């Protein structure tokens, strides 16, 4: 099996329904169809969805590579975070995915079980040629500041050591040495996570710095589908990571 | 395999024996036969039972589609809720079920394990053509008000993201925007849970609002089989969701 | 495979060695052979044992159906009760058992794991024609009075919902409506658990009431093998449940 | 497969390296070879070792039956004891073992998981003809005195109920009724555990009492290989249990 | 399968990326390529890496035996340590490894689960001819001083009992009887762990003592790749353990 995932550019993320509930959505973007339309029009490099969305809306014929997210949790439980697998690698294959995604909350009391679960996914996915994307998010009581450059670089490195092809990271609070994060990830491509909607200038400045430092792209959600001009915004970001 | 489940209408629920004990029952409705007789006479769109009831009373030849509930718990334990699987998907097939059901208590400390268990059930059931119904009930110490519209909409959305065909939800305490719940569920059909017995007028008003907002039906138990005219009540509800 | 278990009468229970240690025993009844001799002489309807006893003493040729108890625990640990499976269904088949038994402590913090384990046993046993007996014992910090009629009726109902053929229950502290317990169990046959040795008159009065209320039999241990006339006592109980 | 284990006599135990560290050892007995030499010279009835020792030193051709211990723990962790399986039954077969051994700490918070794990081992070993030895050691916060005669008798009985062929027990603090322990174990052969090194007279007195009460032998370690005349001591004990 | 691992000499360790994050690295040694270049130039006896590094950089044709580390954790979580398996033995084979490595934190509340996991790995690896290296590190609340000679000797012994071919140990705070550690490990080869960078004289003194006491080699990381003359330092250590 050959994956059609491009390891660079803009990935349009839409897993917020499970992670946050529909509170991020409005009348338009509450539907995955709206997201698919944007993805198609803007020619995003990949679309990130959960199994429910993919089953109902995704078709490989759309020509947009799908990264199927295999684990998830709600934000209703407030204790130490543990995002468990809800979708098998075989299901990703059935749904036509070009890659699979998984979140590890490093530093959580449950880190150990996510590392183990990810380990199996990584091997199964790679054994059939599917790239693996790791949401590498230090979180939990042990983590005082998940945006400190050291913590972000640690998250990048852990993803590489565990075999991820792509790592999705938060933008660090101090961006004076973004390249160190990229170097820490070695052969793993570094993508920026989007986070809350930022004003456009602010976002572009960040992305430009990241791209110059060697980041390969951005996995972006709210900043796109909460925007009035989503296709334009994607194109601008694509331009930055060309 | 083709399921004969209609994704709309009235589902007659009768899993209270494990969840609450026989305290909800009287001399008549303590027997599943009484429920089956109502179901047959009123032509309900589906019957919801556990394995024990189905093994002893259900026959596919009755012409009433069965939704077999695969997990459950008593209300005797008062800690964080975790409803574990007691019935396999293969057993549902043996018992002639048209669909399977599962409860996730989102927000519970055990949410993570229910998400994982449901994930496997969802894939196995769908792989053989059985629809999946999710009882999507936020509950546990983290949940202050499980009837708030935001929480109910979150429950609807989580069900969609995880691949449920039908989600069973509580009626929100504020019903000014029921349609948002339906939209949040996207392609997952939304059914109202019954809850404690209400007076008839009150119930009909709620159902009419729900139907107008796009709800597909109701999964109702005590409001029917504790009633003096169960068949009539079902017919009225069926009329509302026609 | 056809089970030779009769769903009625007197089951002679002898699983006290693991549950309580030999403290219940004397020089005679410390040996399973003594129990087998009684069982044979009194023609009990079934014998209840654990794997160790059955392996050493039981032979199908004895003509006494064996109910092999698949889980158990000591009373040395004082925390929330969890009785785990120590014997497989396949082992029950090898040992010539006519049925399998399992205890669930409803209300315990570990209820959820016993429900799950029992669920698998129930399906495997039934798939090869072995009846399933559930020791349905509410217990743990949440249970204030495990002899209240409501709790006993709940235990009966839960056993039915989970697919048990026979449920073993405590005698309720208030016996004014024993028939409600039987009705709550629906198609599951209700057997009385024995408990500590009672004087004979007291026991017979209870059993007569239970039999009149529709109980199918008694699973009795200490009241028999601690008695000076065990065979007579069994025969009297058999008479009551004829 | 036929086991060559004799169910009587002296078993030379040498699993102290994992359980206590090398603190029990001196320059000679730190090596398993020294133990094997003693075993050979004294013609012990069995040798007890862990996988590491057996792989490096044991050969079936030595003519000494091997009891391979399948679980173990260090004494570094001070919480409730849980000795987990580190060796499979299949590995015992590969290493030429004549029997397998397992410890259950009855009364521990983890008793339930050891009972479950032992249950599987017991069935797998017996299915291929390997006898099973249970180290039956009540321990943990619930156990006030693990040498009380009641507790030792309980340990004996639990081993029988769970299917052990041989049970290894502590010597009770009150030895006025040792035969009750033997009777409690029914068909399971009772072996005395050695414990700390005792003076020779003291030990012989105990063993003679135990043998007269029906104990089948002794599993002895430190009392032998910390002694200046290990072969003589074994021969004396063998004489007692002839 | 025949392993090409030499059981003696210098193993170059580079698993710090997951264990500590990139904080140990500089612009050069942040890349596994730099480590491989050193390994090649200095002809180390083995290279220790995690799956991510091996997948991206290691080729069997390099002629340097690979010890693939199968478990790991970050230092972000501060509770009782539990390093879980993230790589299967089969993956080690695919990646061309000559041996596998695993860490057990003896004394941790999770010791029991690491012993169990290691037990399976040990058997699977040995069944296909792969040697097994154990990082034997007492750690957790129960361990007051993990450098005390008794604790280090215990760690050595436990590794032997569990079947490790090589054990990696800390240098004890009191080195007056290093040979006791070697004897405690019996047939398991003892390697010194490196730890923080030491000045060269200090390190050489330690290594010489260790070699004289019977240690087989050193697994060294920071002391090499943080050094200005890594190849020279390796050669000096190789000389010591020749």
Neighbours of chain A (3+ CB pairs under 8 A): B, E
User: Does B204 reside within a domain?
Assistant: yes
CB contact under 8 A, A18 and B161: yes
| Predicted local confidence at residue E83, as pLDDT | 98
Inside any domain, residue D33: yes
SS3 annotation, C142-201: CCCCCCCHHHHHHHHHHHHHCCCCEEEECCCCCCCCHHHHHHHHCCCEEEEECCCCCCHH
User: What pLDDT is stored for residue A1 in this prediction?
Assistant: 57
- Chains near D with 3+ CB pairs less than 8 A apart are C, E
Contact B113 A74 (CB under 8 A): no
Partner A, chain E 130-159, Cβ-Cβ below 8 Å: none
pLDDT digits (tens, 9 = 90+) for C121-156: 999 999 999 999 999 999 999 999 999 999 999 999
Question: For this structure, is B137 an active site residue?
Answer: yes
Q: Tokens standing for B142?
A: 């983290």
Contact yes or no for D77/E111 (Cβ under 8 A) = yes
pLDDT tens figures, C157-207: 999 999 999 999 999 999 999 999 999 999 999 999 987 766 777 888 999
Does residue B238 sit within a domain? no
Residue D1 has what pLDDT?
A: 56
Chain B residues touching residue C7 (CB < 8 angstroms): none
Answer yes or no: B51 catalytic: no
Partner A contacted by E18 (CB < 8 A) = yes
Q: Between vectors from CA D131 to CA D126 and to CA D132, what angle results, nearest 5°?
A: 95
Rounded-to-integer distance, Cα B237 and Cα B241, Å: 6
- DSSP summary character for residue D23: G
Give the range among B1-5, B26-30, C30-34 with minimum mean pLDDT.
B1-5
CATH of the domain at D194: 3.20.20.70
- Using 50, 70 and 90 to split pLDDT, how confident is the model at C1? low
Instruction: Nearest chain A residue to B145 by CA: give it.
Output: A76
SS3 assignment, position E176: coil
**Residue range E36-86, pLDDT digits in tens:** 999 999 999 999 999 999 999 999 999 999 999 999 999 999 999 999 999
A129 touches chain E (CB under 8 A): no
Q: Quote the percentage of chain C above a pLDDT of 90.
A: 93
At residue B200, the pLDDT reads: 74
How many CA atoms lie less than 13 Å away from D236 in the CB half-sphere?
Answer: 16
Does any CB of chain E come closer than 8 Å to the CB of residue D87?
Answer: yes
Among B116, B146, B155, B158, the strongest candidate for a mutation testing the A interface, having the largest count of A CBs within 10 A, is B158
Question: pLDDT band for position B236 (50/70/90)?
Answer: very high
Asked whether the beta carbons of residue B186 and residue A30 sit closer than 8 angstroms, the reply is: yes
Q: What is the mean pLDDT of residues C85-94?
A: 98
Helices (H) and strands (E) in chain E, counts: 10, 10
What is the tens place of the pLDDT at every residue in B191-206? 999 877 667 778 889 9
C67 is a domain residue: yes
Which pLDDT value is given to residue C203?
85
Q: Which of C88, C170, C160 is nearest to C130 (CA)?
A: C88
Mean pLDDT by 10 residues, chain A (242 residues): 88 98 97 98 98 97 97 97 98 98 98 98 98 98 96 98 98 96 98 80 90 97 95 96 92
Cross-chain Cβ contact D109/C72 below 8 Å? no
- In this structure, is residue C3 part of a structural domain? no
Mean pLDDT score of chain E: 96
Q: Do the domain assignments include residue B151?
A: yes
**Using the beta-carbon criterion (under 8 Å), do C22 and D157 form an inter-chain contact?**
yes
Least CA distance to E163: which residue of chain D?
Answer: D52
Q: How many domains, in total, are found in chain D? A: 1
pLDDT tens digits for range B142-181: 999 999 999 999 999 999 999 999 999 999 999 999 999 9
User: Comparing C-alpha atoms, which of B130, B129, B119, B127 is closest to residue B163?
Assistant: B119
Q: Please check the confidence at residue D2 and state whether its pLDDT lies above 90.
A: no
How many whole angstroms separate alpha carbon A9 and alpha carbon A2? Answer: 19
State the complex-level ipTM.
Answer: 0.97
Which residues of chain D lie closer than 8 angstroms to E184, CB-CB? 17, 21-22, 25, 30
pTM of the shown model:
0.97
Count the alpha carbons within 13 Å of E127 in the hemisphere toward its beta carbon. 13
The catalytically annotated residue of C137, C170, C171, C238 is C137
In a domain, D1, yes or no: no
Domain that holds residue A125: 9-240
Per-residue pLDDT band for E1 (boundaries 50, 70, 90) equals low
D40, pLDDT greater than 90 = yes
Residue E4 counted as domain residue: no
Tell me, what's the pLDDT at E143?
Answer: 96
Which of the 8 DSSP states describes residue E188?
S
Residue E196 pLDDT grade (very low, low, confident, very high; cuts 50, 70, 90): confident
């Amino acid at each position: 099996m050959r994956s059609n995932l491009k390891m660079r550019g803009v990935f349009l993320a839409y897993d917020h329904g499970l992670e946050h509930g529909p509170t991020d959505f409005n009348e338009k973007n509450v539907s995955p169809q709206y997201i698919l339309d944007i993805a198609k029009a803007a020619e995003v490099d990949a679309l990130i969805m959960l199994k429910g969305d993919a089953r109902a809306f995704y078709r490989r014929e759309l020509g947009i590579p799908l990264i199927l997210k295999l684990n998830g949790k709600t934000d209703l439980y407030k204790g130490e975070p543990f995002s468990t697998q809800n979708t098998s690698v075989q299901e990703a294959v059935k749904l036509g995915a070009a890659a699979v995604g998984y979140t590890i909350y490093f530093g959580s009391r449950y880190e150990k079980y996510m590392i183990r679960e990810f380990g199996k996914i990584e091997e199964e996915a790679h054994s059939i040629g599917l790239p693996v994307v790791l949401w590498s998010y230090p979180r939990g009581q042990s983590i005082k500041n998940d945006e400190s450059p050291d913590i972000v670089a640690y998250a990048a490195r852990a993803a590489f050591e565990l075999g991820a092809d792509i790592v999705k990271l938060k933008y660090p609070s101090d961006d004076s040495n973004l390249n160190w994060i990229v170097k820490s990830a070695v052969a793993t491509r570094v993508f920026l996570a989007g986070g809350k909607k930022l004003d456009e200038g602010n976002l572009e400045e960040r992305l430009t710095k990241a791209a110059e430092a060697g980041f390969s792209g951005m996995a972006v959600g709210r900043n796109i589908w909460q925007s009035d001009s989503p296709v334009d915004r994607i194109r601008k970001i694509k331009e930055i990571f060309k």
